[in-house]
Amino acid sequence: MPLARADLESLLRTRRLDRTLTTALPPLDPAGLPDEYVCAPTGHTALDARLGGGFPRGQLSEIVGPRSSGRTSLLLQMLAAATARGELVALVDALDMLDVASADAAGVQLDRLLWVRGHVVSNPGMCRDLNQRAVEQAIRAFTLVLQAGNFGIVAFDAGEAPMDAIRRLPFTTWMRLQRLIEGSQTTGVLVGSESMARSSAGLTLKLGIRNLECGMRGIRFRPRLFEGVDIEARVVRARARAHEDVRVSLSTTCA
């Protein structure tokens, strides 16, 4: 008698093999409603609604995009939402670029944020190996925080890191991190200019400035005041919604 698909998925979950399938569904609560124990809400209502509650827990997700596309703003928003729920969060800041005033303005409870400041430099000069070592060191710090467990969100910010240093990391790094985090209540978030974890990633959210080609109307200025950026967020990879095109418009506003 052939097994039904649900039975098969149940068996795979029992053996913890469901994550090996790209189409595997994350565990849902009985009511089928978004649950903050399943997803970590970003704090942005529209985005959470389209993501099915937020970023999945127990998975390594990504926020990618070019410079000024709102990656840091969204990350801080997530951290603020998590600390407001009473969670502890950690940020491995590979390039030591966190602006504490921005984090405070976003509403992050700073005493609940473990900030690990990396040594990666944007201009290594002739010391090309310097950044490679620093990235590996930051990844080790990220691993240690994930191993400690019970953090709500653990973010690895390599948004301005040279991509060649990131690409030189063994691909097994991300698979190992994914295996480390799965089954836990932690949401792993990677922030970069392009996707790092690729197939190991749970959810990849690509950000970009809206109407960039149309006279850069997505970047809003007032006379003598920068106002904010209009952002378009697109889910480019998600295990839960492999074939669904999810696009959300966001706006950032200067505090």
Q: Which of residues 5-34 bind other proteins (CB under 8 A)?
A: none
Give whichever of 213 and 245 is closer to other proteins, judged by the CB atom: 213
- Closest separation between CB of residue 77 and other proteins, Å? 5
User: Could you tell me the two tokens for 100?
Assistant: 């504490």
Q: Of 102-161, which residues contact other proteins (CB under 8 A)? A: 102-107, 109-119, 122-123, 137, 140-141, 144-145, 148-152, 159-160
3 part of the interface to other proteins, by CB under 8 A? no
Binding segment toward other proteins, per CB under 8 A, in 10-18, 38-46, 173-181, 197-205: 38-46
- Closest separation between CB of residue 23 and other proteins, Å? 29
Residues 6+ apart with CB under 8 A from 62: 189, 190, 191, 192, 195, 196, 197, 201, 203, 204, 205, 237
Q: Long-range pairs for 94-98 at CB < 8 Å and ≥24 separation? A: 94/118, 94/120, 94/134, 94/135, 94/138, 94/156, 94/157, 94/158, 94/161, 95/120, 95/121, 95/122, 95/157, 95/158, 95/159, 95/160, 95/161, 96/120, 97/157, 97/159, 97/160, 98/157
Interface with other proteins (CB under 8 A), residue total 83
In angstroms, rounded to a whole number, what is the distance separating the alpha carbons of residues 56 and 68?
Answer: 25
- Closest separation between CB of residue 113 and other proteins, Å? 6
Give whichever of 106 and 196 is closer to other proteins, judged by the CB atom: 106
Residues in the chain: 255
**Could you tell me which residues are beta bridge partners of residue 188?**
60, 154
- Closest separation between CB of residue 175 and other proteins, Å? 22
How many whole angstroms from its chain centre is CA 83? 16
Give whichever of 17 and 140 is closer to other proteins, judged by the CB atom: 140
Binding mask 64-103 for other proteins (x = CB under 8 A): --xxxxxxxxxxxx--xxxxxxxxx-------xxxxxxxx
Among 155, 166, 201, 250, binds other proteins (CB under 8 A): 250
Give whichever of 171 and 226 is closer to other proteins, judged by the CB atom: 226
Q: Of 168-197, which residues contact other proteins (CB under 8 A)? A: 185
How many whole angstroms from its chain centre is CA 54? 11
- With tokens 């124990």, the residue in question is 37
Q: Of 211-240, which residues contact other proteins (CB under 8 A)? A: 212, 216, 219, 221-226, 228-229, 231
